[in-house]
Structure 1
Amino acid sequence: MASPTADLAARSAAAGLEPLTSPPYDSSRDSGVRRYLRWLETERWLPFSGWDELWRWSVTDLEGFWATIWDYFGVKARTPYEKVLGHREMPGAEWFPGATLNYAEHAFGLPEDADTVAIVAHSQNRPPIELTFGDLRAQVARAQAGLRRLGVGRGDRVVAYLPNIPETMVAFLAAAGLGAVWASCSPEFGPAGIVDRFEQIEPTVLLTVSEYTYGAKHVDRRAAVEEIRAGLPTLKHVVHVPNGAQDLPGTLSWAGLLGEPVYEPAFEPVFEPVPFDHPLCVLFTSGTTGKPKPIVHGHGGVLLEHLKNHAFQWDLQPGDRLLWFSTTAWMVWNMLVSALLTRSSVVLIDGDPTYPDLDFQWRLAERTRTTLMGISPPYLMACRKAGLNPGRDFDLSSVRQIGAVGSPLAAEGYRWIHEQFGDDVLLNVGSGGTDVCTGIVQGSPEQPVWLGEMSGPSLGVDAKAYDEKGGVVVGELGELVITSPMPSMPVGFWGDHDGSRYRDAYFGTYPGVWRHGDWIRFSELGSSVITGRSDATLNRGGVRLGTAEFYRAVEEIDGVADSLVVHLEDPEGGPGELLLFVVPSGGGPLDDTLRDTIVRTVRTGLSPRHVPDRILRLAKVPYTQTGKKLELPVKRILGGEAPQTVVNMDAVADPDALTAFADLAHQRTHTQGEA
């Protein structure tokens, strides 16, 4: 009989995959998935042989699976649910009708956790701060009392223009406990971008800082706050959270909101029982090509999804510690807060995550004894290119899992992590989105890692690849779809009373099936590779290629620091023009040698049809505030449209980066040049 390792190798070879690591990653530790499997067998008489069988059950018996998630984690409901799934159709699936609960009630641990650290905060303009679960509970209770004095209650909107600091988490949990609706953005956003987001939900209370620090740069935000106040006519109160020396006149201080003394647990937090789909928070899309869409997520959906994701995919357990850089505008921030649901603690980073050097996050992981460290693929690849050796230079023996999300990770990044940390650390590369506030495809401690591949769909996520006719494809690129409902699918878009915007956004292409907008390939073993947004796919002569595949090849070349590729279609049906923009390393030249290397790499590593028609030098690639390359707006600018008409400049990290493309649009006859 073949051993499990030999069987995995044989199946991987048959599927054309290279196994990098396989479970168990830490044989001395019992994973959350294993404990859940034992519970299913002993408490529910549901024996499963392992991950694959468990996943199949989770997407075929939706009611059975999600009922066990409710029971296994002991969801605290004031009134019980009548059934798990009232309506299954998408859009409009109805989860746990009749139940009332509150997300925030699950975030404070057990009584014995009162002295356990819940938050470890590191900032570039404050000393480190630690809050225990008891401290957190007391501050939330006082913040709630302050919000109630301001008239905040169930359904009111509370918004935050705050960095990733403890006060932001306290305010969120306080608002959630009251049944109010939360939305937040980081102070890097300009006032127009903030007003575009917040005015849609008509907030009554704004929490804000007057300044913030990013690396060595100190930024005064007082004028921006005044513009935001003027642009939000529904505001009744502004609360100033101190984040430096500057005061903010005409506001209530944070200390005034909480009252004194801050840390004395004089009373308990309030947990307003609300229906399962009652709005918890509003997350906004990037807003690059119009007003950001206000995506409404409900208490119950976020609670169940994050309990499942954090305990099983991320393997967070009581006493663990999560470090993952995020701003308050990104859905990862919401997932940071949810680490508290598992009685784990969270490490907050406020400021530049690469300051004063690339080693900063590794040093912080060593200092805080992090167990799950999340890093962005660009940061990971930058560490590799810089020749860092975190596995050798730091004591990271506490780390069991490294997560990577936000953009695709090249195979070389997988190899580098494995070289640094060996077989005992799980590299969990995943992809999800603001739309579902979780991971759609990712790994877990019970799944192998294949080189360059995400291990498979998450539990409870019926993800597939569809062709243009709505047929399932395996082994070839297709649209990423979800064919069964999930509890954390949005309640809807704020203000979309007839649901038409929501239907058009996700269900307009394949009726009754969620279209996510990514271009994905699933292997025979269920692993996957996302190659970019499906609306930015490069189609040359019938051969489709994702932009992420292009970047993986080009940005591995010595001398290339960054790149952006766009395909300009020919309106008369010709092959069009494929333009590659390259940022040379160190600001150097784009010479013939580098051009030849790029052409050779693309031709041999990707496809001869995808050799760029022109390769141009670029000073900087334009990104959104959340780190996405602006491929589609650039394409429209090169087509002759003005930058300000195709992109919301407040959603762009550096609007000056678009100037080169507007200049080039007037020089389309050139075959070489410097953009």
Structure 2
Amino acid sequence: MNTDTDLLWYPSRSTAESSNIAGFMRWLSKARGLSFSDYTELWRWSTTDLIAFWSAVWEFYGLDAVSSYDDVLPDPSMPGASWFPGARLNFAEQCFTRATDARPALIEVAEHGVPVETSWEQLRRDVAAVAASLRDMGVGPGDRVAGYLPNTSHAVVALLASAAVGAVWTVCSPDFGTPSVLSRLQQAQPTVLVAADGYSYGGKEFDRRPEIAEIADGLPTVRHLIAVDHLYTSSTTSSWSRRPEVVQHTWSALLGNQVELGFVDVPFDHPLWILWSSGTTGAPKGIVQGHGGIVVELLKALGLGVDLRSDDRYFFHTSTSWMVWNFMVGGLLHGATIVLYDGSATHPDINGVWRVAEQTRATMVGVGAAYLVAAEKANAHPAAEIDLSVLRSILQTGSPLPTSTWCWVYDRVLSDIWLQSICGGTDICSVLAGGSPLLPVRVGRIQCPALGVALAAWDSSGKPLIGEQGEMVVTSPLPSMPLRFLDDPGERRYLASYFDVYPGVWRHGDWVTVNPDLSVAVGGRSDSTLNRMGVRMGSADIYAVIEQLPQIADSLVIGADLPDGRYFMPLFVVLAEGATLDDALRNSIAMSIKRELSPRHVPDAIVPIAAVPRTLTGKKLEVPIKRIIQGARIAEVSAEGAITHPEMLAWFADFATGLPAER
């Protein structure tokens, strides 16, 4: 039961009444004759009368002036629910709906750099130029355009230009290693690759031109390569692809194309982009989401949840490979200014994010939980050094936040700040549970399920739980749920990802507690996905690298949210006969993972073990081992006689008991 001792923030009357959601409730009263006394009543209506709620979102945000539709939701069964059949709209066009001369569209800043503003008119000209160039390259509806780009304006322009011509966009951050990029982009089969020559991080510059050549060579479908001179302004494109049939272009030359911006009118469920899962059980899953679903969902999620407004400056510290980059770009739908930062959160010091916020006058800042935890442990005091007076909300995501860090935010950042802890995912590119400016913020609690999200905690038999931890499920469809996965005959991977436990009900893969007051507490991943700073990664990627090493016979990697707020990702290795896990081998393993995948994939510890326990069908016991390291008893996670090497479970329990308070 909540008490005043855990209360961190309460919305003032003016904050609540001036919020977007309060305006929506007033509109519902006037336009629909619907009255709700509080958020709980509104949420229950939004999840029980889907047709009324989503049609109200459509009208409230003016989409009725864009397109009509035949129906809202003819068949609500999952998977396969079809939204707004007959409607036609374009994501990129909707991003320009609220353009204004009063504020910039983008603010771009690099480490040690001066913020550079891009007006809405300049953004329109750049998108028009790149879109026209894509058309000249033969790109049209359904074709795929891939990016290998850091978080800069180039990525935003390329996304919007691709969407404008009806092409499908996908992107990988250049800190990903070549095999990790190819495992994704080869599935996408792009005809155009947009690649930046490098990126900055932690005060260093990383030249990625050699990697671009490897990537272009590994993508036989690519016919055009657009070279972005991001770091090296005098670089040439001659070495960017070794395939003579690939036509190479420079980004700067494309921008000289002076044309009017036009948009292909596409159906509601026309594919917009491909996001990528972690690839835990094999190749990363290509999650295809549509123009209409993303537009409607991000209008709702950012407008009625996050409370984003046209005069906000919206900054999320992210790479282009994390879905919150797309969630940030969605701020353009609201006419907000988005802040793009290419660099480390902790450069030049632990307050790096707050310094960017100060430079750009950001009003909303999004960060991963790991950054806030690190700042707390470093005894940082941003409020004492940095002017954050215009900041009105902090969004936190990626993993659960420990109790002490919730309090640190209010003690050391701002005492009267709306801290929105949000939980969602790549799967829907949005929020399942998050904030509301109508509700209080309490320690350890996400404020509420998002509007339209029929979220619940279920036990293994499908019984709803209140105040007890269970599997997070969503019992009704959402507009931005995947249209499909790439290369998924019969939707086998899609069904296995979300619907294998509770047929017809979405199982998200998180442990969650839904409290009587609708507040939500997430207990971490219930599956084996690795999740560092919000970026989900696959164990299979790591196995593919290290098990090629002759010294490694077998391996197991897990990622666990620990009770003290740390995210601990150890790698356990079974050594080949005669091998020794000395510093040289540990360094070799770490460097191989960093080179082939990314720095994020490098484990926190490399530990020798005698054997990897498996199910009788050969699957590694990733989830049970994770739960043991989080403190679960052996009997709770594994049935007797169902695994090989059962003696190893006691070893892992001893290992968990011996974990130091800090690693």
1:398, CA displacement in angstroms?
Answer: 0.8
Counterparts in 2 of 1:510 and 1:640: CA distance versus 1, 3 Å: closer
Partners of 1:554 and 1:322 lie apart in 2 by 26
Aligned partner letter, 1:198 = L
Partners of 1:89 and 1:125 lie apart in 2 by 51
Aligned to 1:449: 441
- Contact (CA 8 Å) 1:565, 1:631: kept in 2 or not? yes
| Residue 639 (str. 1) matches residue 626 (str. 2) | no
Residues 622-673 of structure 1 deviation map (CA, whole Å, 9 limit, x = unaligned): 99859689799999996179xxx989xxxxxxxxxxxxxxxxx9xx799889
> Which moved further from structure 2: 37-46 or 630-639?
630-639
1:549, CA displacement in angstroms?
Answer: 8.8
Partners of 2:511 and 2:339 lie apart in 1 by 33
Residues 543-591 of structure 1 deviation map (CA, whole Å, 9 limit, x = unaligned): xxxx999613275xxxxxx6457999xxxxxxxxxxxxxxxxxxxxxxx
| Residue 74 (str. 1) matches residue 66 (str. 2) | no
1:21, CA displacement in angstroms?
Answer: 1.9
Aligned to 1:200: 187
- Contact (CA 8 Å) 1:637, 1:646: kept in 2 or not? no
Partners of 2:502 and 2:493 lie apart in 1 by 15
- Contact (CA 8 Å) 1:207, 1:239: kept in 2 or not? yes
Counterparts in 2 of 1:512 and 1:258: CA distance versus 1, 3 Å: same
Residue in structure 1 matching 2:516, options 506, 519, 524: 524
Structure-1-length-normalised TM-score: 0.79
Aligned partner letter, 2:129 = R
Partners of 1:459 and 1:626 lie apart in 2 by 36
Counterparts in 2 of 1:635 and 1:282: CA distance versus 1, 3 Å: farther
Aligned to 2:153: 166
Q: How does 1:378-389 map to 2 (within 5 A)?
A: 378-389=370-381
Aligned to 2:18: 30
Task: Return 5+ residue gaps in structure 1 as ranges.
Answer: 1-10, 261-265, 538-546, 556-561, 569-617, 648-664
Aligned partner letter, 2:515 = S
| Residue 253 (str. 1) matches residue 253 (str. 2) | no
1:497, CA displacement in angstroms?
Answer: 3.8
Counterparts in 2 of 1:489 and 1:440: CA distance versus 1, 3 Å: same
| Residue 552 (str. 1) matches residue 563 (str. 2) | yes
Partners of 1:629 and 1:426 lie apart in 2 by 34
Aligned partner letter, 2:251 = W
Aligned to 2:625: none
Secondary structure, counterpart of 1:509 in structure 2: coil
Residues 129-158 of structure 1 deviation map (CA, whole Å, 9 limit, x = unaligned): 210111111111111111111111111000
Q: How does 1:340-379 map to 2 (within 5 A)?
A: 340-379=332-371
Aligned to 2:635: none
Partners of 1:17 and 1:637 lie apart in 2 by 47
| Residue 178 (str. 1) matches residue 165 (str. 2) | yes
Structure-2-length-normalised TM-score: 0.80
Aligned to 1:21: 9
| Residue 44 (str. 1) matches residue 28 (str. 2) | no
Identity of aligned residues (%): 40
Task: Return 5+ residue gaps in structure 2 as ranges.
Answer: 242-247, 530-557, 574-588, 622-647
Q: How does 1:365-444 map to 2 (within 5 A)?
A: 365-420=357-412, 424-444=416-436
Secondary structure, counterpart of 1:305 in structure 2: helix
> Which moved further from structure 2: 18-27 or 182-191?
18-27
1:79, CA displacement in angstroms?
Answer: 4.5
| Residue 216 (str. 1) matches residue 203 (str. 2) | yes
| Residue 228 (str. 1) matches residue 218 (str. 2) | no
Partners of 2:325 and 2:401 lie apart in 1 by 21
Partners of 2:13 and 2:590 lie apart in 1 by 43
Counterparts in 2 of 1:32 and 1:119: CA distance versus 1, 3 Å: same
Secondary structure, counterpart of 2:527 in structure 1: helix
> Which moved further from structure 2: 632-641 or 98-107?
632-641
Aligned partner letter, 1:436 = I
Secondary structure, counterpart of 1:164 in structure 2: coil
1:127, CA displacement in angstroms?
Answer: 4.9
Secondary structure, counterpart of 1:535 in structure 2: coil
Aligned to 1:287: 279
Counterparts in 2 of 1:272 and 1:409: CA distance versus 1, 3 Å: same
Partners of 2:391 and 2:565 lie apart in 1 by 31
Aligned partner letter, 1:248 = T
> Which moved further from structure 2: 488-497 or 89-98?
488-497
1:177, CA displacement in angstroms?
Answer: 1.0
> Which moved further from structure 2: 217-226 or 136-145?
217-226
| Residue 477 (str. 1) matches residue 469 (str. 2) | yes
Residues 500-542 of structure 1 deviation map (CA, whole Å, 9 limit, x = unaligned): 22112111110110000111111111112111111359xxxxx
Partners of 1:309 and 1:255 lie apart in 2 by 35
Q: How many residues matched?
A: 572
Secondary structure, counterpart of 2:359 in structure 1: helix
| Residue 512 (str. 1) matches residue 499 (str. 2) | no
